[in-house]
Amino acid sequence: DIQMTQSPSSLSASVGDRVTITCRASQSISSNLNWYQQKPGKAPKLLIYAVSSLQSGVPLRFSGSGSGTDFTLTISSLQPEDFATYCCQQSYSIPYTFGQGTKLEIK
């Protein structure tokens, strides 16, 4: 199985901050990397697919980059509604696997 490792596991930031979350795969997954946002008690919501493609309706302050084994999710200017847990997922090979999540908290 491909292991997905996110860092940091938690992060405190303020409204307006620029934030970057990293996801590393245990082997190359090409561009088969997706990002999800999950709020407490809710289902995950697709933010970005195929490394950098923004899902419809997702604000432009979210962006993704990377290839191979190293990927990043960046939020350019944090808004109050962005405080949530973010999770990466590889769709390169079965079984699909997820990172453990990064909890973004208000400082």
Partner 1 sequence: QVQLQGSGPGLVKPSETLSLTCTVSGGSFSGYYWSWIRQSPGKGLEWVGYIDYTGSTNYNPSLKSRVTLSVDTSKNQFSLRLSSVTAADTAVYYCARRVAVSGTGNWFDPWGQGALVTVSS
CA dihedral in degrees (4, 70, 38, 76; nearest 10)? 160
Please list the residues that pair with 28 across neighbouring strands.
none
Q: Count CB-CB contacts under 10 A for residue 26.
A: 13
| Contacts with partner 1, 43-82, as mask; x by CB under 8 A | xxxx--xx--x-x---------------------------
- Cis check: omega of the bond before 80, within 30 degrees of 0: no
User: Is the Cβ of residue 57 or residue 80 nearer to partner 1 in the bound state?
Assistant: 57
Residue type, 78: L
Pick from 19, 23, 84, 87 the residue near partner 1 by CB under 8 A: 87
In the complex, what is the shortest distance from the CB of residue 18 to partner 1, in angstroms, rounded to a whole number? Answer: 25
Nearer to partner 1, 7 or 77 (CB): 7
Candidate residues 86, 99, 102, 104; the one interacting with partner 1 per rule CB under 8 A = 99
**Closest distance between partner 1 and the C-beta of residue 30, in Å?**
8
CB 31 within 8 A of CB 51: yes
Half-sphere exposure of 11 (CA within 13 A, CB side): 25
Among 22, 32, 65, 76, binds partner 1 (CB under 8 A): 32
